[in-house]
Amino acid sequence: MLIDIRPATARGARGEIPGSTVVERNHLEWRLDPCCAARLPWVTGYDHRVILFCAEGYTSSLAAAALHDLGLHRATDLVGGFRAWAAAGLPWAPAGAGTVMLAPGASPALPAG
């Protein structure tokens, strides 16, 4: 599961990775902790493989460490973040293209401009 933890403004300015799920950083532990009432429906245990990404990889590496502290030992992050993904020529879409799933509490991104 590829999880975008960037805020709506960052997604609006740079774009989104199709098929990813948006769980903004301030909701991450609640949405991915299997013991939390606010967890996402597919979070049923601690063995899920999640790959977090942010703009450049700094925030997502700290967020992955926080998930490890919760017992989600298969959590990791995308080195270099969205910027590295796009620079590698991997698929991305403009914000608002409807290619991502928003977790509860996540704000939709609006295209910049």
User: For the domain that residue 81 is a member of, what is the CATH number?
Assistant: 3.40.250.10
The verdict on residue 90 lying in a domain is: yes
pLDDT value at residue 57? 97
* Contact between residue 28 and residue 63 where contact means Cβ atoms under 8 Å apart: yes
Q: What is the DSSP letter of 93?
A: B
In the predicted model, what is the mean pLDDT of residues 44-56?
Answer: 96
Question: Residue length, the chain?
Answer: 113
Amino acid at 34: P
Residue 108's pLDDT band, with cuts at 50, 70 and 90, is confident
Q: What is the Cα–Cα distance from 88 to 112, expressed in whole angstroms?
A: 22
Q: Which helix (H) or strand (E) holds 52?
A: strand 50-53
The verdict on residue 66 lying in a domain is: yes
Q: Is the pLDDT of residue 110 over 80?
A: no
The verdict on residue 113 lying in a domain is: no
pTM, 2 dp: 0.91
What is the domain extent for residue 12? Answer: 2-102
In the predicted model, what is the mean pLDDT of residues 85-111?
Answer: 86
